[in-house]
Amino acid sequence: MKNHFATNLSRRDFVQKSSVMGAGMGLMPELIFQPAGVKRSSMGVAGSSYSNRWRLSDASKKFPGFENALQMLQHCESIGAGGVQVSTRNWTRDFSGKVREFREKKELYLEGSIGLPKDDADTERFKSEVEYAREAGADILRTACLSGRRYENFETGQAFEEFKKNSIGSIQRAIPVLEKHRMKLAIENHKDWRVPDLLALLKLYDSEWIGVNLDTGNNISFLEDPMYVIESLAPYSFTTHIKDMGIQSYDDGFLLSEVPLGAGQLDLKKVIEVCRTNNPAIKFNLEMITRNPLKVPCYTEAYWVTFEDLPASEVAGAFKWIRDHQSTAELPSVEGMSNEEKLIYEEQNIIDSFNYAIETLNLVN
């Protein structure tokens, strides 16, 4: 099956095709992924890839929303994924056992996604989530220090410094829990830390339980060359969010989008090689978020509030990279789509990425 992005299928054409429903997954034959006879991928799925399906719980009978991590795990197994990275929020011991039972039966890997303990009172919640994730078979937990984007969240440099201080405190609270349960915590470069920031954070702890969830595309929004990011952080990485990125200019900067693997501007074969050289056991979790393009307003003064000390040569090099890697295909967008159409589009982007991972990147079990 060809990637619909690579063949320049427009959103309108996609929606028209997807509206003709059949059996099974409810898509036309050319849009169905058939795992039968196809090797299972070693690539897993990050929960954020299904951001629409988690949010639109009542939008579709053919793509019902996930109510919990087990339902996502079951669905991802059905499309040929090797495992998942999924939120551990609100798990119980009984639920953890059900996840373990299904995971072991299907020989899938499991990574958790967890929020850092904000204060001493929140540490009890963190302890429970780590314990239940361990019981389900996870040995890596992904986390992020910031839920938003640095250039949108902070209006002053002082506010960003306060965020850094709070993040350090949260990680310090987490370390004794991680040590007790022998659980690795992978901090994502989540549009919060530039490479020097994150490396400095890691050096504060020098702990075998603290490492990186390497996102292959996020730091383009910070004017960092993606291969520089990958080569710098790979030695410290426990796991990944593998994604491909589309880039286009707009008046205040550039637009940045996750696109199906193989349809964007990243050298994914090199990405995998670098990651595996540094950690042969590293997992690749697809993060293909189907949404409107993100605006990176790097031509505005507000963007630079927390980036005042960047060398001019580095900024110039970043702008050149962005200029040289403009996407010719239309970036994914859900503008004007119904909820049903969003769910169909999301599923197809994930399926296209798995086909590329199996056929081109050789990410197979």
- Identify whether 182 is part of a domain: yes
- Identify whether 26 is part of a domain: no
pLDDT at 34 > cutoff 90: no
Per-residue pLDDT, averaged over 106-128, amounts to 97
Closest CA to 81 of 94, 69, 72: 72
For residue 336, count other CB atoms closer than 10 A to its CB: 9
- Identify whether 173 is part of a domain: yes
pLDDT at 297 > cutoff 60: yes
- Identify whether 317 is part of a domain: no
Closest CA to 289 of 246, 337, 330: 246
Sorted by sequence, the CB contacts under 8 Å of residue 147 that are 6+ apart come out as none
Per-residue pLDDT, averaged over 31-56, amounts to 79
- 261-290, pLDDT tens digit by residue? 999 999 999 999 999 999 999 999 999 999
What's the chain's average pLDDT? 90
pLDDT at 16 > cutoff 70: no
Say how many CA atoms lie within 13 Å of 222 toward its Cβ: 27
- 171-224, pLDDT tens digit by residue? 999 999 999 999 999 999 999 999 999 999 999 998 999 999 999 999 999 999
**What's the pLDDT score for residue 172?**
96
pLDDT at 18 > cutoff 50: no
Distance CA 174, CA 166 (A): 13
Q: Report DSSP state, residue 243.
A: -
Per-residue pLDDT, averaged over 6-13, amounts to 42
- Identify whether 285 is part of a domain: yes
pLDDT at 46 > cutoff 60: yes
Q: Which domain holds residue 159?
A: 38-244+260-292+334-359
Distance CA 49, CA 350 (A): 7
- 135-163, pLDDT tens digit by residue? 999 999 999 999 999 999 999 999 999 99
- Identify whether 313 is part of a domain: no
pTM above 0.85, yes or no: yes
For residue 243, count other CB atoms closer than 10 A to its CB: 28
CATH number at residue 46: 3.20.20.150
Residue with tokens 């495992």: 83
Closest CA to 301 of 358, 345, 242, 252: 252
Residues of the chain with pLDDT > 90, as a percent, come to: 83
Q: Is residue 256 a contact partner of residue 219, using CB atoms and an 8 Å limit?
A: no
- Identify whether 355 is part of a domain: yes
305-310: long-range pairs with CB below 8 Å, 24+: 305/151, 305/154, 305/155, 305/156, 305/157, 305/160, 306/150, 306/151, 306/154, 306/157, 306/160, 307/151, 307/222, 307/223, 308/157, 310/223
- The count of domains in the chain is 1
* Confidence bin at 57 (pLDDT 50/70/90): confident
Per-residue pLDDT, averaged over 327-352, amounts to 94
